[in-house]
Amino acid sequence: MIKSHAIVLHRYAYSDSSWIVKALTEECGIVSFIVKGGKRKESPFKGALDPLALSEVVFRQNPNTELQFVKEATLLDWHKDMREDLLKTAKAQVMTEIVLRYAPAGVPLEGEFSLLENALAALSLPANNAPDIKPPADNAPESKPSESVFADIKPSADNTSSIFARWLLDICDLWGYTLDMHTCSRCGHPIEGAPADFHPETGAFVCNSCLGVESPRARKETLDGFYALRTGNGDIAHPEFTENALLAYLRNHIGFLREINSLKFLNEARKL
Ligand SMILES: [Zn+2]
C-alpha cells in the first residue's frame, strides 16, 4: 500500500457515478485513479479529488492496470483563496496541464511535485498577506469595517504576479532547457540590468552593446519581467508578456503537439 501526497491534475467522468482522476503523486509520479461512486454526494473523498486539490492518497499500485483504486483520500489544501481568483486559477490550470501532458511518464517526479506544490501554495496566499499593505491607520472611521479599508488599497504590483513565470522558468530548468539570463548570447559577457532582447526560439538573451541600434524583438515588459525574475525581487508589472515568452520558449523545445487547452481560459481571464 502506498501513502503519498498528491496534486489532482485532471478529472473526467467515467460513468454516471465515477471519475477518472489523474494526479501528480509525490512518490510515484503521475497516477491515474478510478474513483467509483466519486460523483455521489456521500462519496467519502469529497473535495480531496477535485482538480487542483492537494491531498494525501492511499492506494495499492497494481502494475497490471493503468487505473488504480484509491483506498483513502484526505484533503490537505483545497487552495480556496486561489480558486476565488479567476486569473490565479487559470494559471494553475495551465501549470497542471503542462505537467500532465509533458512530464515524463512512469517515473517519480519529485522535482515537478515540489515546484507545483509551492506554486499552488503561493497562489493561495490571501491577497492581504502582501507585505507592502499597511494596516489601516488608527484614525480610520470606526463605521468602516476593516475589510473594506483593505479592499481600497491596491498594491502597485500583486506580490503573486511572478509565480507563474517563475514556475515556467523552473520547469524549463528541471526539464533540461535552462535559460541563462546572466550572459549575453552574442558576446558572452555578463548582462548588466535588464536584457536588451530575448529570442524565444533559442532562449538567447542579448546585451545592450550587442543589440546596438537594432530594434529588440521582445517587448520592454517581457525584458523587465525577466530582469525581475533574475533579481528575485518578485513583482512583475505585466507578467503576461514574460509568461508568454517563456511558454513560446518551452513550446519550441518540447514541441507542443497540440495547443494547451487551458491557455484559452488563461487568455480570457487576463482580459478581465
Ligand atoms: Zn553582448
81 vs 134 pLDDT, higher one: 81
* 122 touches 159 (CB < 8 A): no
* pLDDT computed for residue 257 by the predictor: 59
CATH of domain 2-77: 2.40.50.140
Does 127 score more than 70 pLDDT?
no
Task: List pLDDT tens digits, range 94-109.
Answer: 999 999 999 988 899 9
> Tens digit of pLDDT for each residue in 26-68?
999 999 999 988 888 888 888 999 999 999 999 998 888 899 9
Section 231-248 average pLDDT: 91
- Domain residue spans in the chain? 2-77, 80-128+158-271
Q: What percent of the chain has pLDDT over 90?
A: 73
d(CA 244, CA 218): 11
Condensed to tens digits (0 to 9), the pLDDT of residues 133-191 reads: 344 444 444 444 444 444 444 443 456 899 999 999 999 999 999 999 999 999 999 99
Q: Which CATH superfamily is domain 80-128+158-271 in?
A: Recombination protein O, C-terminal domain (1.20.1440.120)
Cα of 196 vs centre of ligand 1, distance in Å, is 9
Phi and psi for 65 in degrees, rounded to 5? -135, 150
- What is the structure's pLDDT at 129? 54
Please give the average per-residue pLDDT across 8-37, as a whole number. Answer: 94
| Interval between CA 149 and ligand 1 midpoint (Å) | 48
- pLDDT > 70: percent of the chain: 86
User: How far apart are the CA of 213 and the centre of ligand 1, in A?
Assistant: 13
* Residue 197 alpha carbon to ligand 1 centre in Å: 10
Q: How far apart are CA 161 and CA 101, in angstroms?
A: 24
Ligand 1 centroid to residue 215 C-alpha, Å? 15
Lowest mean pLDDT among 1-5, 88-92, 152-156: 152-156
Nearest residue to 97 via CA among 1, 30, 43, 40:
30
Distance 188 CA to ligand 1 centre (A): 6
Return the pLDDT at 113.
98
Q: Could you tell me if 21 and 44 are in contact, meaning their C-beta atoms sit under 8 angstroms apart?
A: no
CA of 269 to the centre of ligand 1 (A): 37
Sequence-distant (≥ 6) Cβ neighbours of residue 182 within 8 angstroms: 190, 191, 230
The pLDDT value recorded for residue 128 is: 57
Is the model's pLDDT at 258 over the cut of 70?
no
CA torsion 68-118-109-179 (nearest 10°) is 150
Q: Which whole number is the average pLDDT over 207-211?
A: 97
- Tell how far the Cα of 192 is from the centroid of ligand 1, in angstroms: 10
What is the per-residue pLDDT for 160? 87
Compute, in angstroms, the gap from residue 210 CA to the centroid of ligand 1: 4
Q: How close is the Cα of 249 to the center of ligand 1, in Å?
A: 20
Residue 197 contacts by C-beta under 8 Å, 6 or more apart in sequence? Answer: 205, 206, 211, 214, 216, 217, 218, 223
Quickly tell me which residue has 492496470 as its cell: 65
Average pLDDT, the chain: 88
